[in-house]
């Protein structure tokens, strides 16, 4: 299978030396330090890697889907939000995989390698439907460039509640980066608890969440 992928996905970038082929979690481990998200992705279903002169310079990870996703009611209304939770889960696991990581070695950024990794996966997906959730979509729109459909999500309940609290105090998200008034401390703690956000710099994290909310991307393709 690795040889077939190598022949199929060779020369997708401007450099004739780069090949995209089947990879493994070892390739993810090599590049994980370059990804903005801490922790591991969900259960891995497939890994693709980009190789240049024997070195792994890019990696894509497809994982099992989460059971709850606010974007699905927009992307595929009525298909995964029925009253039968067990059937919803069965259909999701059958139909959907999630691109949970796309990582490119910093030396190779700016060469559209992320776009080519996503296209390579979408050309031969594990399932008919593919999802991706991007916290940095405003800065790196490579999912759209690869052919995925963008879905802008409304604020989560926690984010909407914090926005209302800011407005009541005559503040906007940018004020979270200054000296936050004591009157907002309880609201920030409630937001952090709802978002399961721990550690320091809660104000900065809240600012990022409110000004650059996650964007979902979806794609559908027949699988032979």
SS3 letters for the chain?
CHHHHHHHHECCCCCCCEEEEECCHHHHHHHHHHCCCCCCCCCEEEEEEEEECCEEEEEEEEECCCCCCCCHHHHCCCCCCCCCHHHHHHHHHHHEEEEEEEEECHHHCCCCHHHHHHHHHHHCCCCCEEEEEECCCCCCCHHHHCCCEEEECCCCHHHHHHHHHHHHCCCCHHHHHCCCCHHHHHHHHHHHHHCCCCCCCHHHHHHHHHHCCCEEEEEECCCC
Query: 72, 79 in Cβ contact below 8 A?
Result: yes
Interval 54-102: pLDDT, tens: 999 999 999 999 988 889 999 999 899 889 999 999 999 999 999 999 9
Interval 161-190: pLDDT, tens: 999 999 999 999 999 988 778 889 899 999
Token digits for 59?
A: 């990696």
Q: Does residue 2 carry a pLDDT above 60? A: no
Average pLDDT over residues 104-112: 90
> Which of the residue ranges 36-40, 86-90, 114-118, 195-199 would you say has the lowest mean pLDDT?
36-40
Interval 74-85: pLDDT, tens: 999 989 988 999
Superfamily of domain 2-154+213-220 in CATH is Gcn5-related N-acetyltransferase (GNAT) (3.40.630.30)
| pLDDT interval class at 136 (50, 70, 90) | low
Instruction: Give the per-residue pLDDT at 159.
Output: 94
* Distances 148 to 24, 122, 139 between C-alpha atoms, Å: 24, 9, 16
Token digits for 212?
A: 């650059």
Domain map (residue ranges) of the chain: 2-154+213-220, 157-211
User: CA 64, 78, 151: angle at the middle one, nearest 5?
Assistant: 65
Q: What is the pTM of this model?
A: 0.79
């Amino acid at each position: 299978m690795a040889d077939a992928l190598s022949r199929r996905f060779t020369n997708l970038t401007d450099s004739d030396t780069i090949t995209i082929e089947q990879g493994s979690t070892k390739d993810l481990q090599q590049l994980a330090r370059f990804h903005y998200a801490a922790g591991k992705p969900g259960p891995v279903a497939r890994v693709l890697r980009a190789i240049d002169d024997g070195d792994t310079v890019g990696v894509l990870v497809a994982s099992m889907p989460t059971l709850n996703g606010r974007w699905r009611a927009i992307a595929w209304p009525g298909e995964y939000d029925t009253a039968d939770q067990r059937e919803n889960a069965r259909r999701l696991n059958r139909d959907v995989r999630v691109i949970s990581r796309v990582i490119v070695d910093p030396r190779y950024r700016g060469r559209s390698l992320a776009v080519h990794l996503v296209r390579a996966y979408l050309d031969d997906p594990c399932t008919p439907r593919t999802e991706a959730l991007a916290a940095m979509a405003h800065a790196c729109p490579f999912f759209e460039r690869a052919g995925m459909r963008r879905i802008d999500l409304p604020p989560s309940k926690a984010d909407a509640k914090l926005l209302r609290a800011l407005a009541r105090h005559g503040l906007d998200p940018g004020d979270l980066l200054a000296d936050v008034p004591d009157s907002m401390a309880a609201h920030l703690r409630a937001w952090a608890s709802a978002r399961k956000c721990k550690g320091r710099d809660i104000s900065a994290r809240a600012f990022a969440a409110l000004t650059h909310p996650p964007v979902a991307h979806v794609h559908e393709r027949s699988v032979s």
